[in-house]
C-alpha cells in the first residue's frame, strides 16, 4: 500500500476537517486514478451565506460514505467523497465541478443550489455518466425529461406546499390561507401552482404577500396580513428573517393565524431563534429530526452514536442524499449494467417502498424526480423541540 493510499484511508477513518480532507483528495493523483472506487463529487457551500446548511450537508454525506465503506462499500468497491467549497456561488460551483470531474472518474455528484443544478444540466446530459442531486427542491427540476440525470432528496417546493395545504384542509375545511414569500426565484417557485391546489382543496387564498428577501421592516406587509385575517400563513423563500418580525408584530396586533414554513426554515435551531414566539410554529419536514426516538429508526440511532450532539435537518438531507445515490449504484451494478446516468436513474426510479432506516418515517418510492412525502411538525417551545403534528403525508 502506498503512502498516498494510507493517507486517504486515514482521512476517511478520522473524518479530518473539510479543508485538509479536500487538499489530500485533490493532491492524491495516484489514488484518484483508482478505477475501482465509486466517486461522489460535491459542490458544497462550506462558507458564505448558505454555510449553515453546507456544514451539515457535508457532515451527513461524509458520515454515510464512511458508514458504507466500513460495511464493505458497494460490491466490494470503496466509495470516495471528493468535496470542494463553493461559498454558494454558481461560477465557483461550476469551476469546482470541472476540477473534480477532470481529476476523478465521478459517478455521483451533489450540487449546492438550484442555479447550479440548472447551469450544469447540459453538461450532465453531455457526459452521460453522472447521477446528481443536491440542496435544491426546485419544482422545475422535478421533470425527468428536462433533468434526466438529476433528482431531489425529498418533495419539491410545490409538493411541500401541497402537503401543508392537505393538512390544513383536513384540520380546518374551507380555511383562509395566506402565502408570504420572498421576491426571489426560490420564493416564487410554488406560488402559482399552490394557488390552484388550495382552490381544489376548498381553501380560500385570502392574501399573497411578497417581500424582499431578508427584510427587516415588514410593518406594511403585516398590516396586509391583518386585514386578510387568515387562519394559516405559509412562509416560503426565507430561512429565518423576516419570519420572526411577522410573527411578533402579528401577535402584538392580536392575529390568531397559525404560522407555517417549508424545509429551509424548519431546522430546530432555526425555529427556536424566534424565542417564545416560536411556540406553535409549524411546517413541513421530509425527514425526522435527529432526536426523534419514535418507532424503529436504526439509522437515526447510528447517527446519534456517531455524533452525540444535535445534527441539523441539512445533515439529514446530506445523509439521505448519500443513501439514495449509492442505492442507485448498488442496483445498477447488481443488474450487471454500466454506471451511466441513464442506468443509474432507471435504478433510482425502481425504488419502491424503500426503508431509510427511519430517516423518513414511512417506506419511500421515487416518483418523477422527487420523493413526495413529508410530515407536519410543530414547535413546542417548552421542550425547545419540533414535535410531530401529523402522520406522514404521501402525495399521489
As a whole number, mean pLDDT of residues 149-166 equals 98
As a whole number, mean pLDDT of residues 289-310 equals 94
Q: What are phi and psi of 24, to 5 degrees?
A: -65, -45
Please say if the pLDDT value at position 11 is more than 50: no
Cα 339 to Cα 74: distance, rounded to the nearest angstrom: 13
Q: What are phi and psi of 83, to 5 degrees?
A: -100, 155
Please say if the pLDDT value at position 22 is more than 70: no
**Closest to 111 measured CA to CA, from 317, 335, 385:** 317
As a whole number, mean pLDDT of residues 219-231 equals 97
Please say if the pLDDT value at position 26 is more than 70: no
Q: What is the overall mean pLDDT for the chain? A: 92
**How confident is the model at residue 27, as a pLDDT?**
38
* pLDDT tier for residue 127 given thresholds of 50, 70 and 90: very high
As a whole number, mean pLDDT of residues 149-155 equals 98
Please write the tens of the pLDDT for every residue from 187-224.
Answer: 999 999 999 999 999 999 999 999 998 788 999 999 99
Contact 352/139 with Cβ under 8 angstroms? no
* pLDDT tier for residue 294 given thresholds of 50, 70 and 90: confident
As a whole number, mean pLDDT of residues 107-132 equals 98
| 14 Cβ neighbours under 8 A, 6+ residues apart | none
**Closest to 42 measured CA to CA, from 4, 90, 97, 119:** 97
* pLDDT tier for residue 6 given thresholds of 50, 70 and 90: very low
Contact 154/137 with Cβ under 8 angstroms? yes
Please say if the pLDDT value at position 69 is more than 60: yes
Please say if the pLDDT value at position 50 is more than 60: yes
As a whole number, mean pLDDT of residues 363-382 equals 96
H, E, C per residue of the chain: CCHHHHHHHHHHHHCCCHHHHHHHHHHCHHHHCCCCCEEEEEEECCCCCCHHHHHHHHHHHHHHHHHHHHCCCECCECEEEEEEECCCCHHHHHHHHHHHHHHCCCCEEEECCHHHHHHHHHHHHHHCCCEEEECCCCHHHCCCCCCCCECCCCCCHHHHHHHHHHHHHHHCCCCEEEEEEECCHHHHCCHHHHHHHHHHCCCEEEEEEEECCCCCCCHHHHHHHHHHCCCEEEEECCCCCCHHHHHHHHHHCCCCCEEEECHHHCCHHHHHCCHHHHCCCEEEECCCCCCCCCCCCHHHHHHHHHCCCCCCHHHHHHHHHHHHHHHHHHHHHHCCCCCCHHHHHHHHHCCCCECCCCCCCCCECCECCECCEEEEEEEECCCCEEEEEEEEEECC
Please say if the pLDDT value at position 3 is more than 80: no
Please write the tens of the pLDDT for every residue from 80-91.
Answer: 999 999 999 999
Please write the tens of the pLDDT for every residue from 248-282.
Answer: 999 999 999 999 999 999 999 999 999 999 999 99
**Closest to 386 measured CA to CA, from 376, 396, 372, 373:** 376
As a whole number, mean pLDDT of residues 357-370 equals 95
**How confident is the model at residue 213, as a pLDDT?**
84
Q: Are strands 108-111 and 38-44 parallel, antiparallel or unpaired?
A: parallel
- Cα 319 to chain centroid distance, Å, stands at 10
Q: What are phi and psi of 377, to 5 degrees?
A: -115, 155
Amino acid at each position: 500500500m502506498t503512502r498516498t493510499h494510507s493517507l486517504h484511508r486515514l482521512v476517511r477513518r478520522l473524518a479530518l476537517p473539510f479543508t485538509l480532507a479536500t487538499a489530500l483528495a485533490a493532491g492524491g493523483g495516484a489514488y484518484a486514478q483508482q478505477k475501482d472506487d465509486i466517486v461522489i463529487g460535491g459542490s458544497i457551500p462550506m462558507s458564505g451565506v448558505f454555510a449553515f446548511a453546507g456544514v451539515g450537508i457535508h457532515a451527513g454525506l461524509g458520515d454515510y460514505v464512511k458508514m458504507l465503506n466500513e460495511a464493505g462499500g458497494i460490491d466490494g468497491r470503496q466509495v470516495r467523497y471528493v468535496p470542494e467549497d463553493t461559498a454558494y456561488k454558481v461560477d465557483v460551483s461550476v469551476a469546482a465541478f470541472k476540477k473534480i470531474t477532470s481529476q476523478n472518474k465521478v459517478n455521483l455528484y451533489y450540487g449546492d443550489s438550484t442555479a447550479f443544478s440548472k447551469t450544469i444540466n447540459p453538461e450532465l446530459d453531455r457526459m452521460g455518466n453522472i447521477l446528481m442531486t443536491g440542496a435544491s427542491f426546485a419544482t422545475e427540476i422535478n421533470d425527468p425529461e428536462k433533468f434526466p440525470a438529476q433528482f431531489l432528496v425529498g418533495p419539491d417546493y410545490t409538493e411541500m406546499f401541497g402537503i401543508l395545504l392537505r393538512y390544513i384542509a383536513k384540520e380546518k375545511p374551507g380555511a383562509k390561507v395566506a402565502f408570504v414569500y420572498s421576491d426571489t426565484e426560490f420564493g416564487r417557485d410554488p406560488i402559482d401552482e399552490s394557488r390552484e391546489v388550495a382552490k381544489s382543496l376548498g381553501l380560500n387564498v385570502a392574501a399573497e404577500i411578497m417581500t424582499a428577501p431578508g427584510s427587516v421592516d415588514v410593518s406594511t406587509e403585516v398590516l396586509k396580513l391583518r386585514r386578510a385575517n387568515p387562519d394559516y400563513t405559509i412562509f416560503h423563500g426565507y430561512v429565518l428573517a423576516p419570519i420572526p418580525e411577522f410573527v411578533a408584530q402579528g401577535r402584538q396586533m392580536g392575529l390568531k393565524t397559525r404560522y407555517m414554513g417549508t424545509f429551509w426554515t424548519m431546522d430546530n435551531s432555526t425555529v427556536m431563534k424566534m424565542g417564545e414566539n416560536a411556540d406553535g410554529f409549524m411546517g413541513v419536514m421530509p425527514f425526522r429530526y435527529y432526536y426523534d426516538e419514535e418507532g424503529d429508526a436504526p439509522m437515526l440511532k447510528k447517527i446519534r452514536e456517531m455524533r452525540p450532539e444535535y445534527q441539523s435537518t441539512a445533515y439529514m438531507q446530506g445523509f439521505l442524499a448519500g443513501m439514495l445515490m449509492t442505492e442507485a449504484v448498488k442496483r445498477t451494478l447488481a443488474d450487471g449494467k454500466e454506471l451511466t446516468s441513464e442506468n443509474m436513474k432507471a435504478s433510482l426510479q425502481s425504488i419502491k417502498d424503500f426503508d431509510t432506516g427511519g430517516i423518513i418515517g414511512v417506506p419511500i418510492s421515487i416518483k418523477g424526480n422527487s420523493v413526495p412525502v413529508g410530515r407536519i411538525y410543530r414547535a413546542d417551545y417548552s421542550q425547545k423541540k419540533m414535535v410531530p403534528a401529523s402522520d406522514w403525508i404521501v402525495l399521489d
